[in-house]
Structure 1
Amino acid sequence: MDQIKWGIIGCGNVTEVKSGPAFNKVPNSTLVAVMRRDGELAADYALRHGVPKWYDDADALINDPDVNAIYIATPPGSHVDYAIRALRLGKPVYVEKPMARNAAECEAMNQVSRETGVPLFVAYYRRCLDYFLKVKELIDQRVIGDIRFVDIHLHWQPYVEEVGENPQPRWRVFPEISGGGHFHDLAAHQFDFLEYALGPIKTASGIARNQAGLYEPEDVVVANFEFESGVLGLGSWCYTVNKEQRIDEAYLIGSKGKITFSFFEKFDIKVETAAGTEVYHIPYPQHVQQQLIETIVNELRGEGKCPSTGETGARASRIMDWITGRG
């Protein structure tokens, strides 16, 4: 491909800033069409973002001859269907995370990608963000020696739209749409980056429970996991704490020190060794997916490789299935 001409299926909130504008900012890449089931909203998005075409039917966008690559930004429940349709038409696919509702659906997508030879990519953009690349660099440079242990904690208050005065649960807590709850949505990023930085996780187990009864899937999870390298890991996720108890921290314990960082909302990386403490402050860019999208465009043009593929993306789903017992 010379010019990558993108079509978005599901131009909702995630595409407003995180991803959508980036398709026109990456060299040799253009956003030419968007789709949303509500045609008025699709038309509004196209108008505001300067997109030439809009649709209210996914098949119409997938079959548009001006579109040669598809970005699927719908909830996970429809990823496998849309991805397979696009791949069978020979159009590379970039799909939002989590890649699908479970590992089995991820494998179905990867199987079609292998059969057709059409590339499949997943929006695990932490593999390209400077903040996380710095964490990986510190690991690779053995600044804290050999990594012994990983400890991650994500404790958030209930989402307002789900447990306010007039509760209106959103799609993320309906397993038939999302594959699980907030653990499934957010831990996916964590496990994908940990594998990118530390290598494959070979075993994982956990306890997943719903304690507050605000929705069907689990709202608290504890897990342990082991990397093929021998590094051990521990994690806890709770989505029913008050605002003052909110925690988003990860610790890498090494033979010569400790790295503290955040997966979602802080921009500091703290390194503690015998030599002292050093802090790196690395904010996210405006469009957090832009750097990953650029690697996709480069690969499709034969000029590089994207670090987040269907094969790597499926692994996070497999690990979460192990922990929750859904696999």
Structure 2
Amino acid sequence: MKQVKFAIIGTSVITKYFLEVASSVPEFTLTAVYSRDLQKAKDFGASYGATVFYDSLEALAADQEIDAVYIASPNSCHAAQTIQLMKAGKHVLCEKPIASNAAEVKEMQKVAKENGVVLLEAMRSVHDPAFLEIKEHLKKLGTLRYASLQFCQYSSKYDAFKAGADCNIFNPIYSAGALMDIGIYCIEAMLALFGEPLLVTGMGTFLRGGIDGAGAILAKYEEMIVELTYSKITGSQLPSQIQGEKGVMYISKIAEPNEVRIVYNDGAEEVIDLPVCKNNMVYELETFIKAVKGQKDADEFAQLSRGAIRITDEVRRQIGLTFPADQKIGENAYED
């Protein structure tokens, strides 16, 4: 069994979740950790078995022992870091959203193809077998007419932000905010389940500094309407739902669907049997490793990433949400 030797960029909570589950994947080996602060890289990585530590991306890119890199840096860093590493022959599993805008995604996917490496967005939900069960059971609902997909989760950083603190997740400099952080889950689920909409209309609730704390998107399809609701400044326990002419499907959490049931028009109820998983980040890693080994084609997920970022671009245009990264569009920002 060939091991895939990984480096990681990012030492946040999401990286901890990733590494906790990565240890259960036999082909995964953590070799290196990068941080701008070398001591932070050592302190973080040693407890997970890393043996090499970097505070230089150039040095990491030049390390021939590294096969792949998991990137969980701020969103605004994703494109430049991914491109630099792919040009050095590294496969990249990049946290969602894969980039700040569609221009960056186009360049990233171009570089991946030119260098013969795998680029995969770490969108855990669409790799989850439970999500595949949702898709398989949709036909039981008859003609689909309406869906409401939501992800509303009060941010652990919001109280500090309200008290005046600077928080990356509420800062447009880092291409952050509610749409990019959790609205993206709703968007990619919609695309994976129903395909590209005919048009989208977006709305946003803005906070200090010109960042969105919550929002909603209405998407029009030929025969149905999809409503996406997302928030980092409020919470909700309501399930997502998909309504058809024969019944309605209720989904516990769109990012990690662990409870799904259908209630038919006659009142009969069907509970969908789902695989049990404590951390569904494992599935994105399994997909990535299979793609690296040539056992799986990741093109369908690349299409999802392109479609989703086009929608975030359009919604941001409509609501007036801009990022410094948008100023690079049209520039030769990624030349050596």
- Give the TM-score range, shorter chain: 0.7 to 0.9
Give how far 1:185 is off. 0.7
SS in 2 for 1:106: helix
Pick from 224, 229, 232 the counterpart of residue 236 of structure 1: 229
Partner of 2:258: 267
| Offset from partner CA, 1:16-35 (integer Å, 9 cap, x none) | 12x12444432333221111
Pick from 277, 287, 290 the counterpart of residue 282 of structure 2: 290
Partner of 1:190: 186
Partner of 2:83: 84
Residue 122 of structure 1 pairs with residue 117 of structure 2: no
Question: What is the alpha-carbon distance in structure 1 between the residues aligned to residue 23 and residue 299 of structure 2?
Answer: 21
CA contact (8 A) 1:71 1:94 kept: yes
Question: What is the alpha-carbon distance in structure 2 between the residues aligned to residue 222 and residue 235 of structure 1?
Answer: 5
Pick from 302, 305, 312 the counterpart of residue 297 of structure 2: 305
Give how far 1:307 is off. 6.8
Aligned letter for 1:152?
L
CA contact (8 A) 1:225 1:232 kept: yes
Work out the number of aligned pairs and report it.
316
Question: What is the alpha-carbon distance in structure 2 between the residues aligned to residue 200 and residue 162 of structure 1?
Answer: 33
SS in 2 for 1:253: strand
SS in 1 for 2:33: strand
Residue 44 of structure 1 pairs with residue 38 of structure 2: no
Question: What is the alpha-carbon distance in structure 2 between the residues aligned to residue 293 and residue 160 of structure 1?
Answer: 26
Aligned letter for 1:257?
G
CA contact (8 A) 1:102 1:318 kept: yes
Question: What is the alpha-carbon distance in structure 1 between the residues aligned to residue 141 and residue 315 of structure 2?
Answer: 29
Question: What is the alpha-carbon distance in structure 1 between the residues aligned to residue 43 and residue 220 of structure 2?
Answer: 47
Give how far 1:266 is off. 6.9
Question: What is the alpha-carbon distance in structure 1 between the residues aligned to residue 169 and residue 300 of structure 2?
Answer: 23
Question: What is the alpha-carbon distance in structure 1 between the residues aligned to residue 9 and residue 224 of structure 2?
Answer: 39
Give how far 1:255 is off. 1.6
Question: What is the alpha-carbon distance in structure 1 between the residues aligned to residue 216 and residue 157 of structure 2?
Answer: 25
| Offset from partner CA, 1:190-238 (integer Å, 9 cap, x none) | 111221122223421222232xx444212332321134x6432123334
Residue 225 of structure 1 pairs with residue 216 of structure 2: no
Task: Indicate the RMSD between aligned Cα atoms, in angstroms.
Answer: 2.6
Unmatched tracts of structure 2, length 5 or more: 327-336
Partner of 2:173: 176
Residue 206 of structure 1 pairs with residue 202 of structure 2: yes
Q: Residues 307, 21 of structure 1: CA spacing in aligned structure 2 closer, same or farther, 3 A cutoff?
A: farther
What is the TM-score when the length of structure 2 is the normalising length?
0.84
CA contact (8 A) 2:79 2:108 kept: yes
What is the TM-score when the length of structure 1 is the normalising length?
0.86
Among the aligned pairs, what percent are the same residue? Answer: 23
Give how far 1:264 is off. 4.3
Aligned letter for 2:158?
E
Give how far 1:280 is off. 4.0
CA contact (8 A) 1:4 1:28 kept: yes
CA contact (8 A) 1:153 1:247 kept: no
Aligned letter for 2:306?
A
Give how far 1:55 is off. 1.6
Aligned letter for 2:101?
N
